[in-house]
Amino acid sequence: MSVKISDVAKRAGVSTATVSHVINNTRFVSDETKLRVQDAIQALGYTPNASARMLKTGRTSLIGLIIPDLSNQFFSTIGQQVEDRIRKNGNCLIIANTKETCGIEQEHLKMLTSGIADGIALASTAQQYSDIRDYIPDRFPCVFFDRYLKNCAHDSVTISSAQAMRDATNALIKRGHTKIGYVAGLSNISTTNERLSEFCGTLEQNGLPVRQELIQHGDSISVRTCAAIDRLLEQDCTAIVTSNSLMSVQASYRLSSLGIGIGRDIDLLAYKDYEFYNTFLSHCDLIVQPVIEFGNFIADTILERIESPDAPLKERVLTSYFQPKTI
């Protein structure tokens, strides 16, 4: 025998309307009452009829999260945080992985905007907004995060590393480093361009030349980061800057495998996104990114956009900070 909403209401000592408001988050309900309803739902094993709820509210309570690399801990951490945040509002998360391919991203957008999801948070791999504009219907709730696309007609949530990169590069120069290697990310990404621009600008401000042979490009594939590190070592670099967290860990592995002591034989500037990295980057200078806060901002922004599709666009920018090595 299936459990009905009236059974939940009876067990919780409330009306069926109150149970509906708790499930659909359509009206304020006190925390005490909400807890009683949630306990009754769990005890009875009640499952709301998703089809009926969609017909009544016009919503699926599903939110899409499109990310470029599911294996990258930065994006998986964001996914966990966004999911935790939106579940408190009665929503579920669908994660789609583009594998840094615009064509796959377009397919995900077409599917998720077809009535499956109420809104989408997207870290785009597109080179320009026009590449994906036609795949996002007018007024569809969408938030772009991490990567900024010029002329994008949607909310954005990003992290700026500009000041942190300037501070970190200045610190390396003050220690006497004049031959600093740099491992950049994919060239079509806004974060790559911001970080590299600040690095080069800080060198020039300190009277050091920008040497192209000391700037290598990596990506999420470990063998390419290792090859970039090897080329920089051949140039006798005394310090190396990596421009994202995944490459930072890969660089740390490579230097250690070669018997090169980080913080002793060479300085490494790394990106830190979550606590687990402390094990691998304990001897490194760090640029620390506020990933938990970032995930919360992404979740809050898409929820706000779903509730108010015609509200003015929002551009939210968080900042990372430089943390010098302590060992």
Q: How confident is the model at residue 40 (pLDDT cuts 50, 70, 90)?
A: confident
Any idea which of 88-92, 164-168, 292-296 has the lowest mean pLDDT?
A: 88-92
Q: How confident is the model at residue 98 (pLDDT cuts 50, 70, 90)?
A: very high
Q: Supply the pTM of this predicted model.
A: 0.79
H or E element that contains 264: none
Closest to 261 in 3D by CA, of 327, 181, 174, 315: 327
Check if the beta carbon of residue 12 is closer than 8 Å to that of residue 29.
no
Most confident among 141-155, 195-209, 244-258 (mean pLDDT) = 195-209
Average pLDDT of the chain is 89
pLDDT digits (tens, 9 = 90+) for 261-284: 999 999 999 998 876 555 668 789
Question: Could you tell me whether strands 285-288 and 267-272 are parallel, antiparallel, or unpaired per DSSP bridges?
Answer: parallel
Query: Could you tell me which residues come within 8 angstroms of residue 220 by beta carbon, excluding any fewer than 6 positions away?
Result: 69, 71, 72, 100, 246
Q: How confident is the model at residue 53 (pLDDT cuts 50, 70, 90)?
A: low
DSSP-based three-state secondary structure for 290: coil
Closest to 165 in 3D by CA, of 194, 135, 138: 194
Closest to 211 in 3D by CA, of 189, 188, 232: 232
Q: What integer pLDDT is reported at residue 326 of this predicted model?
A: 77
Q: What integer pLDDT is reported at residue 52 of this predicted model?
A: 54
Q: What is the mean pLDDT of residues 127-138?
A: 92
Strand ranges (E), the chain: 62-67, 92-97, 119-122, 142-145, 155-160, 180-184, 215-217, 239-242, 267-272, 285-288, 315-319, 321-323
Q: What is the mean pLDDT of residues 26-35?
A: 84
CA 100 – CA 17 distance, rounded (Å): 45
Report whether pLDDT(27) > 90.
no
pLDDT digits (tens, 9 = 90+) for 193-238: 999 999 999 999 999 999 999 999 876 555 688 999 999 999 999 9
DSSP-based three-state secondary structure for 68: coil
% of the chain exceeding 90 in pLDDT: 61
Report whether pLDDT(168) > 90.
yes
Check if the beta carbon of residue 200 is closer than 8 Å to that of residue 210.
yes
Most confident among 46-50, 205-209, 246-250 (mean pLDDT) = 205-209
Domains and CATH numbers, the chain: 5-57 (1.10.260.40), 62-160+291-322 (3.40.50.2300), 162-288 (3.40.50.2300)
CA 226 – CA 259 distance, rounded (Å): 14
Cα 260 from chain centroid?
31
